[in-house]
Structure 1
């Protein structure tokens, strides 16, 4: 029998699903630089990065809400308040010429929230390893995509 994985190892299912969730970001980035004539402009480049980035930032609001449900009292109230910020951020600020940079800032804002949730035991011990991996790719795609021709 093999030894169990250390507590900080990311379980396979969240890792695989998290990596799969990067596909639209990577597609958006690649198609920001490579013309794909058979595909509508709505499914390439900036449009994909902005639309999918908005969806995932709003999804992260739900993740923080989930942390709040595991907390009590002031901690719960704080995480409930924090949980609405990413979705509202995307709704109010992720549009126009700077949408991708605004979304990147939103994803970076989440990191201290994620770290606090993990330190308080509201997120699993491997949470930050996953979030750092995913966030680094997402932010890189959004920032590079912003500067694409």
Structure 2
């Protein structure tokens, strides 16, 4: 059964809030002004997306590391090595201004989805994992695209 359990689904959707909020404040000047006045400049537009996106890529490295613990031998070693890529990507590739950083985050999240697929193919993830990851990644990429392409 590939139905996403309620708790991971709700937590995953809640984790999209900074991405969606960033896109909305990029698209709506009144919303951006409200956010600036009430939350500060770091919590609007692409800035909240970039900072939070870096955090989430690092978090996902930890998730993949956890999946790697289910493997053994060479597969485990490969899993551990692959699991650190998203955090390293976030660390090295999110500088250079909001457009470059946003584009690099998009590549990072797309790459993460490929890693999710590999771990899923190795049967290290729950059966519903890819359903959740495709949903969340699609929304993240759409939100980041607002700051990169508009």
Same fold (TM over 0.5): yes
| Unaligned stretches of 5+ residues in structure 1 | 1-6
1:104-123 matches, cutoff 5 A = 104-123=106-125
| Unaligned stretches of 5+ residues in structure 2 | none
Aligned counterpart in structure 2 of residue 14 of structure 1, from 8, 12, 29: 8
Q: Deviations over 1:84-141 (max 9, x none)?
A: 1111111111112300110110110112211121122200111000000000000111
1:65-104 matches, cutoff 5 A = 65-97=65-97, 98-104=100-106
Q: What do you get for the CA RMSD once the two structures are aligned?
A: 1.0
- The answer to which of 129-138 and 112-121 deviates more is 112-121
Q: Deviations over 1:22-56 (max 9, x none)?
A: 01100011011223322322110011011011000
Q: How far 1:18 moved relative to its partner? A: 0.3
3-state DSSP class of the match of 1:96? Answer: coil
What does residue 4 of structure 1 align with? none
TM-score (norm 2): 0.90
TM-score (norm 1): 0.91
**Post-superposition, which runs of at least 4 consecutive aligned residues in structure 1 deviate over 2 A?**
none
What does residue 136 of structure 1 align with? 138
